[in-house]
Amino acid sequence: MEVCLTPGDVIFIIILLVLLVLAIYWIWFDYDRLFRMPDIDHVPPEDRIKQLQFLACFNFENGPQWRIIYIATIIVGLVLLYVFGLPGHSIKPGILLLLIIFFVFYGLFALQAYHVQRLLCSKAKPDLNAL
C-alpha cells in the first residue's frame, strides 16, 4: 500500500513526534522531581505546610495529565493504524483518528479530574479562588 504524504503531512508528523519526545521528557522530569522530594516526616516543621500545599496543588498547577494522555493516544493510534491499515491510502484519516482519540481521552479526563484537583488545591491554599 502506498501512502501519499504532502509536505504539510510531513510537517504535522514531525510536530507530533517532537511533542511525543517532549511529553516523555516532561513526565520523566515530573517523576524525578517528585521522587527526589523528601517524605513529609523528613521535612522541617516550618516547611511542612508549604510542602503539603505543593503536593495538593501539583496536578492542578502543573497539568501533567495531557502528557500521558498524548503518549497513550499515539500508542493506541499507531496500534489501530497497524491493525486496520491506513484508510484511503492517505495519512489524513490517520491524523484525524489520532486527534479524535486525543481529544476524547483528554476531554473525558479533564471533565472528571479538573474540578476535583481544583477543589483539593483550594482546600490546601484557601487564598486560591476555586469557584
The pLDDT score that the predictor gives to residue 128 is 64
Model pTM score: 0.64
Q: Which three cell numbers stand for residue 116?
A: 476535583
The pLDDT score that the predictor gives to residue 112 is 73
The pLDDT score that the predictor gives to residue 25 is 92
Domain that holds residue 75: 7-124
Asked whether the beta carbons of 27 and 68 are under 8 A apart, the reply is: yes
User: What 3-state DSSP class applies to 37?
Assistant: coil
Q: Which residue has the higher pLDDT, 28 or 86?
A: 28
Q: Provide the 10 A C-beta neighbour count for residue 116.
A: 11
pLDDT in tens, 60-84: 777 777 788 888 888 877 777 777 6
**Domain assignment present for 129:** no
Give the integer Cα–Cα distance in Å for 70 and 67.
Answer: 5
**Domain assignment present for 107:** yes
Give the integer Cα–Cα distance in Å for 19 and 39.
Answer: 32
User: What 3-state DSSP class applies to 126?
Assistant: coil
Give the integer Cα–Cα distance in Å for 89 and 127.
Answer: 55
Q: How many residues does the chain have?
A: 131
Q: Over 70: is that where the pLDDT of 89 sits?
A: no
Asked whether the beta carbons of 62 and 24 are under 8 A apart, the reply is: no
- Number of compact structural domains in the chain: 1
Give the integer Cα–Cα distance in Å for 54 and 90.
Answer: 46
**Domain assignment present for 1:** no
**Domain assignment present for 47:** yes
**Domain assignment present for 131:** no
